Amino acid sequence: MSDSAHDDDHVYLSLAEGHDDGSDARWAFGTGFEDPLHGVDTTVPEGVDPVELAATCVELADDALVSAQRLAEWCTRAPELEEEVALANIGLDLLGQARLLYARAGQVDGTGRGEDAYAYFRDADDFRNVTLAELPIGDFAFSVARLLVLSSWRLAHFERLAAHQDPVLAAIAAKGAKELTYHRQYAAEWAVRLGDGTEESRRRMRTAFDQVTPNLDELFTAYDVRSEVVEVLRQVTEAAGLTLPPVPPAPGAGRDGRHTGHLVPLLAELQSVARAHPEATW
């Protein structure tokens, strides 16, 4: 194994390890969670622009946080208990990714902000998530289609980021890619099951793809993974007996802080406790 590969493995292991130093860093507001980058060399490598690195981390963290909040809305609403647990676990994976990315952003953006500051104390126009993540959950077919799109897109990007010059971001991406592979598989299996099911499930799955497709171009504007993601979606829709609708051109919005009216109430619910009781612990 090369020294570089060994170093990457060390970063990955450090990210996964806890510590008992009494740190008061928090993720779930007020619960005293540990600093996820404790013990990791967070020095920005030469040749890496810290402003650009921080922006990338915040964008990807915002996508994950908002997506996780939408998935949490399926608790007590999913069609089966097994799917409720699966969606909750996918949401927890995304929360873990957001936590690591926010922590890295706080290390390099010059503000020294912690995870709580990013998650709970920014307004909607400060968020940089793609707009597809913030749309209401709709029916189960829509959530499946959205999860398929977002996980396929995020996985393609994370696989590239695993070779990033910043070893911390590379380690976060390598860890996240393993989780996203499962997320994509879960969504693909449900898309095929619904598309190749009853007349009603087929109608709903077709409608869901029609609803998510107008938001795809924003994803491809942000990162150059269009051909890879479209091919995944084409294979899944073909297996489901459906046809992937054309992807219409659409200007980027979420990455510029321009969001739908759905993000404000989502954040109001997400941030309510932290804003009502700043610096609270229990």
- Give the residue-averaged pLDDT of 135-140: 96
Q: Look at residues 55, 213, 195 and name the one whose alpha carbon lies nearest to residue 149.
A: 213
pTM above 0.75, yes or no: yes
Per-residue pLDDT at 68 exceeds 70 = yes
Cα 147 from Cα 132, distance rounded (Å) = 10
Cα torsion angle, 30, 32, 37, 41, sign: positive
- Structural domains in the chain, CATH included, are 3-274 (1.20.1260.10)
Cα 17 from Cα 161, distance rounded (Å) = 21
Q: pLDDT value at position 34?
A: 60
Q: What is the pLDDT of residues 253-264, one digit of tens each?
A: 887 878 889 898
Alpha-helical runs (H) found in the chain = 3-16, 50-72, 81-108, 115-120, 131-134, 140-161, 167-195, 199-212, 216-222, 226-239, 263-276
Query: Which residues have CB under 8 Å from 129's CB, separation 6+?
Result: 59, 62, 63, 65, 66, 67, 254, 259, 263
Cα 196 from Cα 44, distance rounded (Å) = 49
Cα torsion angle, 72, 76, 78, 84, sign: positive
Q: What is the pLDDT of residues 228-255, one digit of tens each?
A: 999 999 999 999 999 999 888 876 688 7
**C-beta of residue 180 within 8 angstroms of C-beta of residue 165:** no
Hunting for tokens 């396929």 — which residue is that? 152
Q: Look at residues 119, 88, 111, 132 and name the one whose alpha carbon lies nearest to residue 222.
A: 132
DSSP secondary structure letter of residue 213: G
